[in-house]
Amino acid sequence: MDSKEKENWLLAGRIGKEARETGIKLAVPGSTLISIAEAIEGKIKDMGAKPSFPPNLSINQIAAHYTPRFQDDITLKKGDVLKIDVGASVDGFLSDTAATVAVGERDTELITAARDALQAAIEIARPGLDVNEIGRVIENKIKSRGFSPIVNLGGHGVGRYDLHEEGFIPNISGSYSRPLKKEGAIAIEPFATTGGGYVVDSSEVQILGFVETRPVRSAMGREILGFIEKEYNSLPFAKRWIIGKFGKVAELELRSLVSAGALTEFNVLKERDNGLVAQFEHTLLFDGETVTVTTA
C-alpha cells in the first residue's frame, strides 16, 4: 500500500480509539445511551473524520447492533454490561473497535475472558495465517474461564468503504479454513457469553445501510435516498440520524425504502439464551510483514 493509504488507515484507527475511550469514560450509572452516542459521534467529527457506523451501545444480553433510537431515554444502571463498539472513517479508510464495561463496577470474569481472548488472537495474527488458528485461541481463552464464545459472530476483513469485507474470522476452531489477507485491514472481535453462544435477530432495527438506487414514488423518499447515498456511501447509518434531519415522517419513508430494496436492515442481535455478552475488538493493519494494531 502507498504511504497515503497507510496514513489514512492509521489515522482512522487513532480516532476510533479516542471515540472508544470517550464512550468508556461516560459509561457510568445515570448516563443515557443517547448522550454517550452523541459524544462519541462528536469526538469523531471533531477529529476530522466520520463514524464508520453508528456507535453500537448494547446492554447485557444484547450482543450487537443497538444504537440509540431518536430521543432514546434508556439510562445505564449499576451492573449493566455495556458493549461500546465504534469506528471512524477517514476518506473511506475505516476502523472498528470495541470494549465492554461493567457499569459502576469492576470488570467481571466474563469481561476479562473476552479481553484476554482478543489479546491472545492479536499475539498470533499475521498475514496468511489460517483463520482457524485465530478461532482456536479465542475459543480456548473464553472456555478456560467457564464461558462460551459466540459461534455466529466474529471478526472480518475491512476494506475502503467496506466495513465487513469478505473474510469471516471465527471465534471457534474448526469451522472455517482460510488464510488471512496479505495486505490491508482486518478486525478481530471475540464475543463471550454466559449463555449457550448463539445470537438471534430481535425484531428491533435502528441501523440501516444503502443497497442501491431504486425507483421511489415519494418525493421525500427520493430525497432521503439521495442523501443517504451521498452522505454514507455503503457504510451503515442510524435511523435517528435520518429522523433528526428530515423529521419523524422519515421513519415511514425508511420502511418504504427497505421494502423497495434500496436499503437493508441490521437487526439488533440478542443472545438466544438471554446470556450476558462481553465483546472486545481491534483493527489490525497488515503491510508486508508488519502488523499494526491501529486502534490500540
CA-CA distance, 4 to 123, in Å (whole number)?
27
CA-CA distance, 208 to 109, in Å (whole number)?
33
Which triple of cell numbers denotes residue 131?
483463520
From 41, 271, 281, 282, active-site residue: 281
**Which of the 8 DSSP states describes residue 123?**
H
282 included as an active-site residue: no
CA-CA distance, 77 to 66, in Å (whole number)?
17
From 116, 156, 253, 282, active-site residue: 156
| CA neighbours closer than 13 Å in the CB half-sphere of residue 123 | 10
Strands (DSSP E) contained in the chain are: 50-51, 56-59, 62-64, 81-86, 88-90, 93-94, 97-102, 148-149, 155-159, 162-169, 184-188, 191-193, 199-210, 237-238, 263-271, 277-279, 282-287, 290-293
Residue with the three cell numbers 503491510 = 287
From 116, 189, 253, 271, active-site residue: 189
CB 16 within 8 A of CB 295: yes
From 41, 85, 116, 139, active-site residue: 85
130 included as an active-site residue: no
Which amino acid appears at position 277 of this protein?
A: V
From 164, 165, 273, 287, active-site residue: 164
End-to-end CA distance of the chain: 21
From 96, 116, 139, 271, active-site residue: 96
65 included as an active-site residue: no
189 included as an active-site residue: yes
CA-CA distance, 232 to 229, in Å (whole number)?
6
Query: Which of 95, 74, 104 has the alpha carbon at shortest distance from 13?
Result: 95
Specify whether the backbone of 143 is left (phi greater than 0), alpha (psi in -120 to 50) or beta: alpha
Which residue numbers are catalytic? 85, 96, 156, 164, 189, 281
